Every structure is written in structure tokens, then in C-alpha cells.
Amino acid sequence: MAHPAAHAFDVEGHDYEGDELITGEAVALDLRPASFVLRAAGAMIDFAATVLVMIALIYLLTSPDVGLVIDGAALQAISIVFLVVFTIAVPAGVETLTRGKSLGKLAVGARIVRDDGGAIGFRHAFIRSLTGFLEIFATLGGLAALVALLNSRSKRLGDLLAGTYSQNERVGAIVDPVFIVPSGLTEWARTADVARMPDPLSRRIAAFLVQAGGLVPDARARLASELANEAARYVNAVPAAHPEAFLLAITAIRRDREYNALQLAGQRMQQLEPVLGGLPHRFPDRS
């Protein structure tokens, strides 16, 4: 956890800590920026599409049939207009209408958003397109790649000026882990008495079990021992087991017990349904 003094605040009071945005309502949003590789792939697709369209139009304008109607000076003027339209106006218009999308970003699953996670407007898209002519087309992406490699969110110069970044929208589904009683504690679990624990302690145990695989061995063992000592006061007949195995066992026992309680409550409600929903004797059903 970063020190509070290291937090950054925007003009609307949002608190940033790394890639996590904490809103004014104290809701944490996990906003994941697109990686440099994804951004480069999307930019290459957009660049290729723009160049192909411009080549096709220039080929059309330089064809013999059109050359008889348009002279050289008019052809140069039209070419400059096409260059401005397809490198600045079209990208800005597409990102404005699609709220930060383009052909390349659609392919890689990214979207341009503001630094606070909101949708961009025309101002943001125009600044990005205007600087993109220098970054992407004039330098063949060299300047954009250099700037993107120097910041954590892979922002190019246009993003720094517009206050935007590329957000990755294709995030893998989070699979909730299923905890089971370790094999060495199966017999103990059949007679164990696990009392109700305080909610903060239950949440800390659950968070530890989910994140245990990513902890270093020393920290993992220390946290498991501390949590096991706190949870032991709510367990009758504490087993002589590894602290983490003990935490897994009591978590599975409490889950199964609460599930069975909910099932029993549902069965009782089904038995009472005829009484609760029935009409008094000889009372007409007007539904």
C-alpha cells in the first residue's frame, strides 16, 4: 500500500494509487491500461488502414480518366486535403463517435479513456489526432514508441497532452476459488465446532487464501500463523496442523455449514408456503 502522501488527486477529487482509481464515494475501480505491445499492434493496424485508403484514393486521382479533368495543381491541393482529412480529421471523428474506439483498438480490445476513466470527447480526440500526425505518420511511430516506453501506462505524447490513456477492456474472467478441507483434517472436520467469527477476520482469511500463491514463502508463513492464532479462539479442539491447512479447513467448514443453513431455511419456507400464501376458508380467489 502506497503512503497517502504518494497518492495523486485530480480536479474532481479522485484518488489514484497505481492503476487503481478511488472515487469520491470510496469505490475502488481497477482500471487496467493496455500494454505497450497491444498499443503498438493497434496503432499498426490503424496506420496500415489509413495508408491503404490514401494509396487507393491517390491511385484513383492519378488514373488517366481523372487526369484529363484535374490538372497538376488541383491534384496537389486535393492530395494535401486528403492527407489532413485521413490523418487528423477522420481519426478524431472516429474516436469521438465511438467513445475512444478505432479499427486497431477494436482488434486488440482497447479503448481510449480519460485519466479518470470517463469517456473522451472531441477535444481529447482532436489533440491526440493532431499530435498523432507528428508521432505516428511523420516519424513512423518512433516518437510515440519512445514516449510510451517511458511511462507506466504506455501513454504517447498525445495522451499526455490530452489527459487520456488506452484502457484494456479484455480482462479474463475472475474464477472464485473453491476451498476444501485438506485430507489430513477430514476426520477432525466431522466433529469440529467452529463458532461465528467477526466479519473483518473472515474477510482477512479469505483474502489471504486467495492471494497466498503470490506471496513470498516467509510472508505467507507469517500471515498464515497470525491468522490461525486469531481464528483458534473460535474453534473448539484446535488440530495440530499447518496454519494454512487449518485456515482452509475452517473456511470450508463454515461455507458448508452456512450453505446447509440456507438450504434448510429454503425447505422450511416451501413447507410454510401453502399456509402463508393460502386464502382463508371459503374466501373467494379474485385473482
Return per-residue pLDDT of the chain as tens, 287 residues: 334 334 443 434 444 444 555 555 444 455 788 889 999 999 999 999 998 988 888 888 777 776 666 777 777 888 888 888 888 999 999 999 999 999 999 999 999 999 888 889 999 999 999 999 999 888 888 899 999 999 888 899 999 999 999 998 876 666 667 788 888 888 888 888 888 888 899 899 988 988 888 888 899 999 999 999 999 999 888 888 899 999 999 998 888 888 888 888 888 888 888 777 777 766 666 66
Residue 281: predicted pLDDT: 66
In Å, how far are 47, 209, 253 from 249, measured between CA atoms? 56, 11, 6
The H-assigned helical ranges of the chain are 36-61, 64-67, 72-84, 90-97, 103-108, 122-132, 142-148, 157-162, 186-191, 199-211, 217-232, 243-277
Retrieve residue 191's grid coordinates: 466433529
CA atoms of 147 and 3, how far apart (whole Å): 27
Residue 13: predicted pLDDT: 41
Residue 164: predicted pLDDT: 93
Long-range contacts of 98-103 (CB under 8 A, 24+ apart): 100/125, 100/164, 100/167, 102/42, 102/46, 103/45, 103/46, 103/49
Question: What does pLDDT average to over the chain?
Answer: 82
Q: Tell me the HSE value of 113 on the side-chain side, using a 13 A CA sphere.
A: 16
CA atoms of 249 and 185, how far apart (whole Å): 7
149-186 pLDDT, tens digit per residue, is 998 888 999 999 999 999 988 766 666 677 888 888 88
pTM of the full structure: 0.55
Q: How many angstroms separate the most distant Cα atoms in the chain?
A: 98
- Structural domain spans, the chain: 30-168, 183-277
Specify burial of residue 204 (Cβ count, 10 A radius: 0-12, 13-18, 19+).
Answer: middle
> Phi, psi (5° rounding) for residue 156?
-90, 180
Residue 105 and residue 91 in contact, taking contact as beta carbons nearer than 8 Å: no
Q: Tell which residue, 172, 168, 163, has the closest CA to residue 32.
A: 168
Q: Tell which residue, 131, 149, 118, 159, has the closest CA to residue 11.
A: 118
In Å, how far are 25, 36, 110, 133, 210 from 155, measured between CA atoms? 27, 9, 13, 16, 32
